A and B are shown apart, each in its own frame.
Chain A
Amino acid sequence: MEESSQSVVRVIRCIVCPTGCEIQVKKNESGDISFEGYTCKRGLEYAQQEYYEPKRILTTTMRVQNGFLPLVPVRTDVPILKDKLEEAVKEIAVKQIKAPIKAGDILIENILGSGANIIASRDLSEIQ
């Protein structure tokens, strides 16, 4: 801003290591994006991913019928777009699955067309 025509469009706090660099995402007049403030290559890669396409592994629970526990922990097998997390949680919340369940079982295929499956995080036996 002060020394050039670049403006800071976002500040990303790097979580790759405990140093926690603040990486500034800058845009110049012609719309080119640049990154500043990172101190290692992994930091730059993290900031680029976070800026262009932030993704997360979603972890939540799904209701279970006649299970040893009323819930089974589940997750996406690959990261999904951060913007889709809330919708995915809601989709999982309305489903119910039958015990017994094995860790790794696919409980929902290709959730919201994201390419990610919802898989069980643990074994869960039937209630005796």
Chain B
Amino acid sequence: MIKYETDVAVIGSGAAGLAAAVEVKKAGLGVLILERDRELGGITLQCIHNGFGLKEFNEELTGPEYAQRFINEVHKLQIPYELDTMVIEIKPGTPEKQYKTLIAINKREGVINIQAKAVILAMGCRERPRGAINIPGFRPSGIYTAGQAQRFVNMEGWLPGKTYVILGSGDIGMIMARRLTWEGCKVKAVVEILPYVSGLLRNQVQCLEDYDIPLITNYTVTKIHGANRIKGVTISKVDRNFDRVIGTDKFIECDTLLLSVGLIPENELTFNAGAELSSNNGPIVDNNLETTIEGVFACGNVLQVHDLVDLVTAEAKRAGNYAIDYINNRYGNDTKKNGQIKCIAGENVNYVKPDVINKSDIAKEIIFTFRVRYPDRRVLIQFKDENGVIYKKKKIYVIPSEMIELNLNLEEIGLNKDCKRIEIEVIPRPEVLIEED
């Protein structure tokens, strides 16, 4: 078996993996990137639309251009990488043996063994498939996830069909609606089970409204017609519990159904390594983005699904720096020994990252990221410890598709140092209630 030894192994070469690897290499440490696809770049390579890089580069780039900048950096810094290589197992280090072991496979070398002082997880996320949403009907060809269709159309040069219904109003689904229209296809409708769009407003306006593509909210696909090839779908209105409303069925003829019904961090590898996962299916991390396995860090969409690649890059750079700190300063030490504070998702908060804060770090700035469960206007974001509210911030508008980021120094805002948990909630502003009374 071929063996590699390095300081940091990075799993995945999308926006997160590339930025993390570059950061580690610039600090003078060894790094090895492991990528399962045929080239570096990850999912941004198929996102050929623009809108990337406004925060990171202060200019508007396409996905491939954004990836290209980091790929160029990888080449310039001569960072080694393995393509077509799938990591199949991570073995945590032991007190006697600090190196983590990665087992990976590829066609050239067979099974390979990588010894690394630290590991950065950057495997991204995957799309929720048909099976996850249980649509009745046959299993004809012509059903794809939106991202799969995006890869076919933008990279492989295949068109999955001619007339489309898109289920779910996620960003990739809406962007594909425009893309397919430009390719001469007909997108008959985007069907969304919720009363509001799941993706960003700009995509709703520029991808659907610009091309008069109907957006049908409070509806879902309840039957798929066709035996060999899909011939159409039945859509039905749903009530507040997402139950089908009898008598509202409509048939839409189409030869292709695209699913844009959500993304899930891809963490089988993480879970099998023994790391604990949180409610969003991302690993539990502390404020150093370290998972529950010492020396294994996570960043990008494998940790939490982001709206903007720029935010992935920023998070990945942090993960890179935490891995550097871990190796340089406290390789084998445990900052967790002073105790931890749990971060709890309270009212109208879906999840919070980091999941825990090391008590020894509370005098540092900590970046909190979270999402709301449902849209709301004129809200108050509150942080509470066991004694009560320690921080308040007003916000005009919150929506699940926009991740909220807050930079806080918990010591400065007066956190009780002996507390065991803080709770984050997004509640209606009291004055709004008074007005309405």
Contacts and interface: CB of A to CB of B under 8 A. Distances in A.
Contacts of B201: 13, 15, 18, 20
Given A18-B201, A121-B48, A60 B182 contact: yes
A111 B67 CA distance: 26
18 contacts: A13-B201, A15-B201, A18-B397, A18-B399, A56-B206, A57-B60, A59-B48, A60-B179, A60-B182, A61-B48, A69-B156, A71-B156, A75-B50, A86-B182, A103-B68, A121-B68, A122-B65, A122-B67
Contacts of B49: 59
Contacts of A68: 39
B62 A15 contact: no
Is the interface on chain A under 10, 10 to 19, 20 to 34, or 35 or more residues? 20 to 34
Which residue, of A20, A71, A121, has the highest number of chain B Cβ atoms within 10 A? A121
A36 interface: no
Contacts of A19: 396-397
Given A13-B201, A71-B157, A121-B62, 13 more contacts: A13-B205, A15-B201, A18-B397, A18-B399, A18-B402, A19-B396, A19-B397, A73-B48, A82-B210, A85-B182, A103-B64, A121-B65, A121-B68
B21 interface: no
Interface of B: 39, 45, 48-50, 60, 62-65, 67-68, 71, 153-157, 179, 182, 200-202, 205-206, 209-210, 396-397, 399, 402
Which residue, of B64, B71, B157, B209, has the highest number of chain A Cβ atoms within 10 A? B64
A121 B46 CA distance: 11
B202 A59 contact: no
A63 interface: yes
Which residue, of B45, B48, B210, has the highest number of chain A Cβ atoms within 10 A? B48
Interface string A1-44: 00000000000010100111000000000000000000000000
A13 B207 CA distance: 13
Interface in A82-128: 82, 85-86, 89, 103, 121-123
A122 B45 contact: yes
Contacts of B64: 73, 103, 121-122
Q: Report the 5 A-B pairs with minimum CB-CB distance, sorted nearest first.
A: A122-B64, A73-B48, A15-B202, A70-B157, A121-B64
Nearest to A69: B155
Contacts of A61: 48, 153-154, 157
Given A86-B182, A89-B182, A121-B62, A71 B68 contact: no
Contacts of A121: 48, 62-65, 68
A71 to B, nearest CB: 5
Contacts of A82: 210
B33 to A, nearest CB: 17
Contacts of A18: 200-201, 397, 399, 402
A70 B50 contact: no
Nearest to A19: B397
A13 B209 contact: yes
